[in-house]
Structure 1
Amino acid sequence: MTAPPRLSTRTSRLGITPLLGGALLASLGIHLLLLGFSFKLPPVREENFLSPPLEVVLVNSKSARKPLQADALAQANLDGGGNTDLDRRAKSPLPATAVDQRESGADRAQQRVRQLEAQARQIMTRLKSEQSLPNMQNATSPTDAKPVEADPRPISLVARSLEMAKLEAQISREYDAYQKRPKRMFIGARTQDYVFARYIEDWRIKVERIGNQNYPAAARSQKLYGKLQLTVSIKSDGSLDDVEVTRGSGSKILDAAAVAIVREAAPYSPFPEEMRNKADILSITRTWNFIPGDQLSSND
């Protein structure tokens, strides 16, 4: 009986044939070669993913039939319409109006005064109605009135009535004092009542003339320029009531010079009759500019 062939000591010990070893070496070489290369994706531009803008028109009519070939996108189907065969779209002849959401301090103050007056009237009306209610109940005939149990705390009712009477008297005194105070009208740079427009324009021209004739020497010598906001209060007889720097220029010299110019230009013209019917004191808020050339101007 023939004995099987005997493998070499190296092959039998590791279990790897020369063919298998060559395949492993080739695989290892290929992997090392692949690891030596780096793959990088091309850069992606954002505009490639952005869709082109859509133009949408608003129509004021619609049709049940969908147009075969639409000329524009709209919120509803509209097939035909108009009085011309040309390719035209309706446009507004007016320019776009910029919405100014800024509200001046003068407008807020005027609105707050109206709110406080309305609240005072409501409180006085409610107090008077509550005070007259017991009198109406006492005027009811005894035969129609139903028996009511006596309040076990009459002292508290008396105290409450006295407190209400005291509160009503206090509110009435304060409201009467408020009504006797001079009526103030606040005019900002962006809101001008037509009744006051002519007066304010004449006042601005006078202040500018006096300011340019008496331009501050310190501002001229130091070449100081800037802008500031003043609130000037004028009485109905044209006399000056108050001047306040509501927004400074950053220079004390310019701020003081502006106040001095307004005081120097006083007194101003008395209010016309139509203005006196609306206000006893007119408070004007404007921006004043000290500009190169040593000039004072207000372009509000």
Structure 2
Amino acid sequence: MKEEIARKIQRYAKKPRTKYVSSSTKAYEYAPYINQWVKTIERTGDLNYPDKAKKKSFKGEVMLTVGINKDGSLHEIKIIKPSKYRFLDEAAKHIVEIAQPFEPLPDTQEPVDILYITRTWQFLPGHLLRQK
């Protein structure tokens, strides 16, 4: 019984410490980091706007959750709410992938191994990617 409890404690201790933030989160400790991250994604998106969207003036929104490891590397990307166009969903993921590596996560009072950021991204006329 004691061994079983010890194993469970060890497994729990090995789990990564995570934090979830969205545009409505008041996570002031992460505000400067998230603002810089958004600028990086927008700049990368503007420079790598999908050709198909440029040619046909497609526009749309896609909601992503992006997991960033403590060292700034990409942990994962999840599409939470897809756009009407699959190619925009894939373009949003691609933009995040080519924008990495990101800055390492900031040191905070609550140590975090993976920061999950949820944002809605808008593909707009004029070849602009903006956070909603």
Q: Which has the higher strand share?
A: 2
**TM-score (ref. length: structure 1):** 0.42
Q: Are 1:273 and 2:89 counterparts?
A: no
CA–CA separation in structure 1 for the residues paired with 2:5 and 2:60: 47
Which of structures 1 and 2 has the larger relative contact order (alpha carbons within 8 angstroms, sep 6+)? Answer: 2
Contact persistence 2:72–2:102 (CA under 8 A): yes
Superposition pairs of residues 104-115 of structure 1, within 5 angstroms: none
Q: Which amino acid in the other structure matches residue 121 of structure 2?
A: W
Q: Are 1:246 and 2:77 counterparts?
A: no
Q: Which amino acid in the other structure matches residue 198 of structure 1?
A: P
RMSD in angstroms over aligned alpha carbons?
1.4
Counterpart residue number, 2:123: 290
User: Could you say what secondary structure the match of 1:234 adopts?
Assistant: strand
Q: Are 1:213 and 2:66 counterparts?
A: no
Higher-Rg member (1/2): 1
- How many residues are matched? 132
CA–CA separation in structure 2 for the residues paired with 1:171 and 1:192: 36
CA–CA separation in structure 1 for the residues paired with 2:61 and 2:111: 31
- Superposed CA deviations along residues 128-180 of structure 1, whole A, max 9, x for unmatched, are xxxxxxxxxxxxxxxxxxxxxxxxxxxxxxxxxxxxx2xx5334312321211
CA–CA separation in structure 1 for the residues paired with 2:129 and 2:37: 14
Q: Which amino acid in the other structure matches residue 11 of structure 2?
A: A
User: Could you say what secondary structure the match of 2:102 adopts?
Assistant: coil
Instruction: Quote how far apart the aligned CAs of 1:284 are.
Output: 0.3
CA–CA separation in structure 2 for the residues paired with 1:186 and 1:272: 14
Q: Are 1:228 and 2:67 counterparts?
A: no
Contact persistence 2:72–2:105 (CA under 8 A): yes
Structure 1 runs of 4+ with >4 Å offset: none
Question: Residues 188, 171 of structure 1: CA spacing in aligned structure 2 closer, same or farther, 3 A cutoff?
Answer: farther
User: Could you say what secondary structure the match of 2:104 adopts?
Assistant: coil
**TM-score (ref. length: structure 2):** 0.93
CA–CA separation in structure 1 for the residues paired with 2:76 and 2:58: 25
Contact persistence 2:30–2:106 (CA under 8 A): no
Question: Residues 179, 293 of structure 1: CA spacing in aligned structure 2 closer, same or farther, 3 A cutoff?
Answer: same
Tell me the percent identity: 38
User: Could you say what secondary structure the match of 1:274 adopts?
Assistant: coil
Q: Which amino acid in the other structure matches residue 211 of structure 1?
A: G
Structure 2: gaps of 5 or more residues = none
Q: Which amino acid in the other structure matches residue 37 of structure 2?
A: W
CA–CA separation in structure 2 for the residues paired with 1:283 and 1:253: 23
Counterpart residue number, 2:71: 237
